[in-house]
Structure 1
Amino acid sequence: MKNLIIIEAPSNLGLKQLRNVEPGVRKLPAWLKARGLHDVLQPQKVIHVEPPPYSMHLDKESGVRNADAIVSYSKTLSEEIKTVLNAGQFPLVIGGDCSILIGCALGLRSVGNFGLFFIDGHTDFVLPHFSETKAAAGMDLALISGNGPDKLANINSLKPYIAEKNIFAIGNRYLQNDYVKLITDSAISYYDLHNLRAAGMKHIVKKFLKKVESHNLDGFWIHLDVDVLNNEVMPCVDSPQPGGLSYEELRSIIRALLSSSKIKGINITILDPDLDPDGNYSKAFIENFSQMFPA
């Protein structure tokens, strides 16, 4: 893709530590580069945005772990995205965990009014009182759409960064009733994995693109959490679940989105190199992901 800029956002601030080990997603940008992603995509430039040190601090004001550090990092990341977008370039932001979406959405909001196509094996639409982990990576969709504590949801008084009505969220397969009700009660267009397949993936993409046009949006962003993929082809995630999209299904979605003139950028999250010591799953991801981009 012409004008491609890779922004490395190796933050793990949005995850709770499991098994007394710091989450390994911070290693993802360097890991993918070492395995050939940059060689295949040939970005014009690579920008590295270093996050604050990881901790497990629970912020009393917001009820979210590492809230102050995430706000600071989101502001820095948003400025890089703003610069890239204003230059007419295409940012590919490589996380890190899903809390990097806050910085991506904040950057978008600072230059216009955008939509979001959210591809994830979870809804990430919960508030601190509902969350067991109190970790922002499980709340990112709620926060960027103006829900939750203002410390995170209203940075620079720009709430919401992306309006609920301009968001499609697809691929969830954690179907606990109380969890799902939170997003179905919102204005987000929501399709769990079953309903996505039943409706037809290309049909859902067309509905989203029509909304982008009818709402006169300045463009849209793609959020890709790799845990939307089938656990057999992508088990290297912090919250694995049975089932998921095949690579063929994911390619059909992202190719259709990238063919639109309204696409402005994409972020990738959650692939944990520590859970893929041989690199085989990561190599398969690079091969498949690179095929989704136009030449």
Structure 2
Amino acid sequence: MDQTVRIIGAPMDYGANRRGVDMGPSAIRYAGVAEKLESDGLEVTDSGDLRMPRAEERDPEANQPSRGNAKFLREVEDVNTRLARQVHETIEEGIFPLVLGGDHSIAIGSMNGSARDADLGVVWFDAHADLNTPETSPSGNVHGMPLGATLGRGLFEDMDWAHAPRVREESVAYVGLRSIDDRERELIRNSDITSFTMSDIDNRGIATVVEEALEVATTETDGIHVSLDLDWLDPKTAPGVGTPVRGGVTYREAHSALETVSTRHAEDGVLRSMDVVEVNPILDEANETATLAAELTASAFGKRIL
């Protein structure tokens, strides 16, 4: 694949309820993500990490929204505003933005930057729906809200830094859902989002499900964003995540899914941006989860066994 990739680190943990994901970008780099991409002929540059103060230096309850609860909202806004700008500028240069998180709230910036001049489809590999808003979130943790924010739901509708009007519900597809709270279940059922659960993967196979998700995300769009949360995988395979849920995809299923993305990109050039999130080295075993994140990223860009 003849393409230049720029790594952008977003070591944010303001959106999570457990510390440690701020070290995720470093762990994925240490696992050799750049070298794995370069071994497949890609040119890789690294812009380093966005700067941000430590969570201990800030008040999570400051700048609360008018209704509901969203912790560290001012800090999440600041980081995502800067990240969106950098992602947009990277795409304008003809370079592919690969964002390494950090907690999943950084996807707000990834998607807003990618969708600034394009109608963007989204494939969301995650155990969780992340569709909450300050009004519906049971925890106030913004890493459970990035899709709700980007789609302009609830209070996010009037937050220009969060709401990306060119990301539409009918162009979003979940793959591998298995942990959804009651309110999110209701929100999904009343939305135009396409949802594939782990039961769909069990019954129909990972390749078929991902192909259908890609069809949803590429219909009447200019390209797609892939968001890969490592808690999508079973915690026996990916132990270093903050919100593990039993019953996730296997190592082989995960590689097959990202290889399916790569095949479609090789055919049609559909992939526009990607983020890899929620690697928590504190909870990991011998950097196993970060290594898996690096390997799966390489699969998305064309790495094959043969």
Question: What is the TM-score normalised by the length of structure 2?
Answer: 0.86
Q: Counterparts in 2 of 1:193-212, with a 5 A limit?
A: 193-212=198-217
> Does structure 1 residue 181 correspond to structure 2 residue 186?
yes
- What SS does the aligned partner of 2:154 have? coil
Separation in 1, partners of 2:227, 2:274 = 6
Contact map agreement 1:146 1:161 (CA 8 A) in 2:
no
- From 122, 142, 153, the equivalent of 1:116 is 122
User: After alignment, is 170-179 or 248-257 more displaced?
Assistant: 170-179
Q: What RMSD over aligned residues (CA atoms) do the two structures have, in Å?
A: 2.2
> Does structure 1 residue 148 correspond to structure 2 residue 154?
yes
> Does structure 1 residue 41 correspond to structure 2 residue 49?
no
> Does structure 1 residue 80 correspond to structure 2 residue 86?
yes
2:103 aligns with 97
Separation in 1, partners of 2:9, 2:136 = 30
Contact map agreement 2:261 2:300 (CA 8 A) in 1:
no
- From 57, 60, 82, the equivalent of 1:57 is 60
Deviations 1:166-214 (A, max 9, x none): 1001211115544422212211001111123323332233333333454
Seen in structure 2, the aligned counterparts of structure 1 residues 200 and 279 have a Cα distance that, compared at 3 Å, is: closer
> Does structure 1 residue 278 correspond to structure 2 residue 290?
no
User: After alignment, is 202-211 or 118-127 more displaced?
Assistant: 202-211
- From 218, 241, 244, the equivalent of 1:240 is 244
- What SS does the aligned partner of 1:124 have? coil
Seen in structure 2, the aligned counterparts of structure 1 residues 284 and 223 have a Cα distance that, compared at 3 Å, is: closer
Separation in 2, partners of 1:147, 1:135 = 16
- What SS does the aligned partner of 2:291 have? helix
User: Which structure 2 residue ranges, 5 or more long, are not aligned?
Assistant: none
Separation in 2, partners of 1:246, 1:87 = 36
Deviations 1:149-171 (A, max 9, x none): 238x6325954351111100121
Contact map agreement 2:262 2:299 (CA 8 A) in 1:
no
CA drift at 1:249: 0.9
Question: What is the TM-score normalised by the length of structure 1?
Answer: 0.89
Separation in 2, partners of 1:280, 1:209 = 28
- What SS does the aligned partner of 1:203 have? helix
User: Which structure 1 residue ranges, 5 or more long, are not aligned?
Assistant: none
CA drift at 1:8: 0.7
